[in-house]
Amino acid sequence: MTDSTPRDAAQLHISVMLERCVELLASALEREGAVVLDATLGMGGHTEAMLARYPGLTVVGLDRDTEALALAGERLSRFGDRFVPVHAVYDEIDRALEVAGVGAIDGALFDLGVSSLQLDEAERGFAYAQDAPLDMRMDQTAGRTAAEILAEEPEGRLRELFERYGDEPLAGRYARAIIAAREETPIVRSAQLVDILQAATPAAMLSKRHPAKRVFQALRIEVNGELSTLERAIPAAIDRLSVGGRIVVMSYQSLEDRIVKRILQARSRSTAPQGLPVELPEHRAELRLLVRGAEQASEAEREANPRAIPVRLRAAERMRERP
């Protein structure tokens, strides 16, 4: 049953590394007529801060979650047409900007992972600590649910998902247990899955970590196509950046961060053939990295907001147009 109590987006979520994100994007935000893409709008905290501080700024905010879009829209309504919401997955950047009537952008922000809205709503099925239908779709209007994946995929595919997306050492054992359990009854609720995983976990390992953590992460990534979406989204955003524009990306698990690191580093290197005496303009690096490695939230922020503990932030500035 859905709670009908009106909710305030500002109370549902504390934005991670908000001040650092705004600082890194500042040179883009202060441009006359600047446009920034918030590719993962969520509860709209980062967008609210940018719009409030830069009165000439317009933000195009994307989210695949219609409930998040509605809540953020209420929060940001006071900014009028300076905020343009678009229902889209964050790799649909070209379509979203076309809908918004925007060509080049001055900044792009990605705050990856699961939002507080999705984690805190038991009925969404993201959290293994709460019994709920195994849905896990960020966009509840499309795609397969986690329950459908558990019902339809063969043992080998489930093992592969748990290994690849969850780095789960007991992936094979868990896959076998799920196959055996679903022959008896459909696995449709999170508590069912947790019970199956706990029963399949050696007693010595139960005290070390929750057996469901990595499996739930793997299912969420598969349900929402998170990594393949990210592989397309970051290059698409970079291609839309004007010269001097900036991109900031916050990741919350190592698979995401590796993808972001690889793309940003590749486009921040010269493409000149080895031994070429003079670097031609078309070979110069497209990007300049703005932070050394990946930044973490401060100790104070991690204590105040536990969801900031795993964050890894990377950022870059566009130095030239593509040939």
Annotated binding site: 44-46, 63, 90, 111, 118
For residues 218 and 167, the answer to whether their CB atoms sit within 8 Å is no
Q: How many CB atoms lie within 10 A of CB 317?
A: 20
Longest dimension (CA), the chain: 70
Q: Position 114: which residue type?
A: V
DSSP state of 13: -
3-state secondary structure of 262: helix
Cβ atoms 181, 191 nearer than 8 A: no
Question: Which residues carry a binding-site annotation for S-adenosyl-L-methionine?
Answer: 44-46, 63, 90, 111, 118
3-state DSSP assignment of residue 126: coil
Q: Are strands 35-38 and 58-63 parallel, antiparallel or unpaired?
A: parallel
Q: Of the candidates 63, 36, 40, which has an alpha carbon nearest to the alpha carbon of residue 51?
A: 36
